[in-house]
Structure 1
Amino acid sequence: NIRLSTEILQRLTEAYRRIRNTCRYLLGNLSDFDPETDRVGYLEMEELDLWALNSLQQLSKRVQRAYDSFEFHPVYHDLHNFCVLDLSSFYLDIIKDRLYTSPPKSMARRSAQTAMNEILEVLVRLMAPVLSFTADEIWQYMKGKRPLSIHADTFLPPNKECLDPELMERWARIISVRKEVTKALEFARKEKIIGHPLDALVVLGLSAPLMEALSPYGDQLRSIFIVSEVTLATPDQVKNGLESEEIPGMLIGVSPSTDPKCERCWIREPSVGQNDEHPTICRRCLNVLDEITAG
């Protein structure tokens, strides 16, 4: 017997809405992207974008294996979890800054769009057997030469070119740190230390191995954690820090930034107010606007 109730239908409706909204977000941010001319090669892509493509290939393997075994329940769970956990709550949340504040044709933005386009191409095919009408609706808005209906196409073969187990291992460590930072930010918000994560300065007290692992990403950590500033330090340098529950020896200090807020990117930066013509934006955004104006 199959259970059915209003509550079950509501949960399924919400799960479907999340998948649909994720695809709509991908389509919306690909409106100015032409795969034929704007695609970035894997060797030129940002590492986070390559992480997303590696995760996509893992999803594709699991889902196609489930279809081959006529196990449709795992298909639904894998598609939903990928859209909600891997994309909406992590990848898409981080790259918003790149998508919205970078020059339209910059390598950083095109790298993100290349990944998003490939994600959509694979995702829409994987959902086609179980979300037939939605997949076909998405298909009509996608660019490039393709059959009139998605149901006249096939699954894409595995893309081994972008696979990188070492990259996935590095990012698994970063993701574990990010989860702990998110907990500390939420605690600081509840204690009214900060109002929004972008109001925060984060200091991480790290062991030597973790310091070695995170140091190469120093400039990117602000975007990954979605805060205004991240400083890497030793545990004894962190005052009043929260001790991580999952990563032994790691301390997380959260304090409010005293710098002014950029009206364009919302990051608190000391460079805001230093330009007389644009006193409300930071130096990074000023450079972007100059580049856009110059054409």
Structure 2
Amino acid sequence: KSPYRKVISHGWVVDGEGKKMSKSLGNVILPEEVINSYGADILRLWVSSADFTSDIHISKDILKQLSEVYRKIRNTCRFLLGNCYDFDPARDSVEYRSLAELDRWALFRLNQLIEKITGYYEHHEYHQVFHALHNFCVTDLSNVYLDIIKDRLYCSAAGNLERRSAQTVLAIVLKNITLLMAPILTFTAEEIWQFLPKRAYPTVQIADWPEPTAQWADTELGKRWEVLLKVREEVTWVLEQYRQKKLIGGSLEASVDLWVEESFYQSLADYEDQLATIFIVSGLSLHRGFHTAPDEAITGQQCPVKIAVRKAPGHKCPRCWMFTESKQELCSRCQQVIAV
């Protein structure tokens, strides 16, 4: 009796130019060579990243590109794990309703990822697993969520509710993406699993498969943050123009004025006190309508907004790097944290 339920066959393995593998052509790449150069998980990632219904290409360039993708996924996981160093889930976890809204957005996106990847595995669309996992780690986590919460993680007091809120989500995300990658990146998943705090199973390979959580499926929250993050893209693009002109250095050197079309205003006004944090700038002023916008304000490419950037007033706090007009060297927030 076969020790498996299904067998999937794939197309021919060809080189990067689509030529068949042949010793005479000198284009054969042995599995042992890949494992010795990159590790077994890169070989597994290459197999899973290919559409098995077509010919499968392999070359040194393809393997190098995959190793870069793998490195991004691994580095994301290392960041998640590293920032849970003082987090005890039993003692420090924050319940869902008390999480910061950005943290709940991260769980919303994780929930979607679990649904998608589970479906891809069930329908043998392994190359889609690879793309979905990579996109989540790079786009949702590194480029957005982790970028925004670094200030909370590094500068808030250790036991601060907002910091624990972020750590709660980091721990949940890390556990779940480790489970999702385990069938493909087996050795990496096991390595991560051994460092997880309070793990219920000795190995990732016998842990329960993650399932979507109804509480995380907040579509209204998802829609609100879709708008906020589109505006964030607009602001980031404008900041980059100023940076290239050497008018500012990092984004925290900037203070932003944002003029918003009447019909679009309320979707941002509800988050006015959070916008500077979301955009990672030292100050932000929100204006209703375009009538007060100066000629030099830059019109958004995909949102009805106009944006102007100026140097943030005051001096740079040496602890959090935010610009402050405080007469003290540290900003008022950092003074409070240090005093605790």
TM-score (norm 1): 0.94
Decide whether the 8 Å contact of 2:115 with 2:211 is kept in 1. no
Tell me what 1:241 maps to: 297
Q: Which runs of 4+ in 1 moved over 2 A?
A: none
Q: CA RMSD in A?
A: 1.0
Tell me what 1:8 maps to: 62
Q: Which amino acid aligns with 2:225?
A: W
Decide whether the 8 Å contact of 2:252 with 2:323 is kept in 1. yes
Residue 126 in 1 paired to residue 175 in 2?
A: no
Tell me what 1:48 maps to: 102
Q: Which amino acid aligns with 1:252?
A: I
Q: CA–CA distance in 2 between the matches of 1:259 and 1:107?
A: 28
| 1:289 CA drift (Å) | 1.0
| 1:199 CA drift (Å) | 0.5
- 1:239-260: CA deviation from partner (whole Å, max 9, x where unpaired): 2100111113x10001112311
Instruction: Give the greater-gyration-radius structure (CA).
Output: 2
Residue 282 in 1 paired to residue 331 in 2?
A: yes
Q: Which amino acid aligns with 2:161?
A: M
Instruction: Tell me which of the two structures has the higher relative contact order, counting C-alpha pairs closer than 8 angstroms and 6 or more residues apart.
Output: 1
Provide structure 1 residue ranges, at least 5 long, that are not aligned to the other structure: none
- 1:199-218: CA deviation from partner (whole Å, max 9, x where unpaired): 00100010123221111211
Residue 88 in 1 paired to residue 142 in 2?
A: yes
Tell me what 1:196 maps to: 250
- 1:251-273: CA deviation from partner (whole Å, max 9, x where unpaired): 000111231110000010111xx
Decide whether the 8 Å contact of 1:204 with 1:235 is kept in 2. no
User: How many residues are aligned here?
Assistant: 284
- 1:122-166: CA deviation from partner (whole Å, max 9, x where unpaired): 110000000000000000000114221100112122111222111
Q: CA–CA distance in 2 between the matches of 1:194 and 1:235?
A: 25
Structure 1 range deviating more: 54-63 or 146-155 = 146-155
Q: CA–CA distance in 1 between the matches of 2:298 and 2:200?
A: 53
Identity %, equivalent residues: 43
Counterparts of residues 159-198 of structure 1 (less than 5 Å): 159-198=213-252
Decide whether the 8 Å contact of 1:199 with 1:228 is kept in 2. yes
Counterparts of residues 132-151 of structure 1 (less than 5 Å): 132-151=186-205
Structure 1 range deviating more: 214-223 or 25-34 = 214-223
| 1:236 CA drift (Å) | 2.3
Q: Which amino acid aligns with 2:72?
A: R
Tell me what 2:320 maps to: 265
Q: Which amino acid aligns with 2:308?
A: G
Q: CA–CA distance in 2 between the matches of 1:283 and 1:238?
A: 31
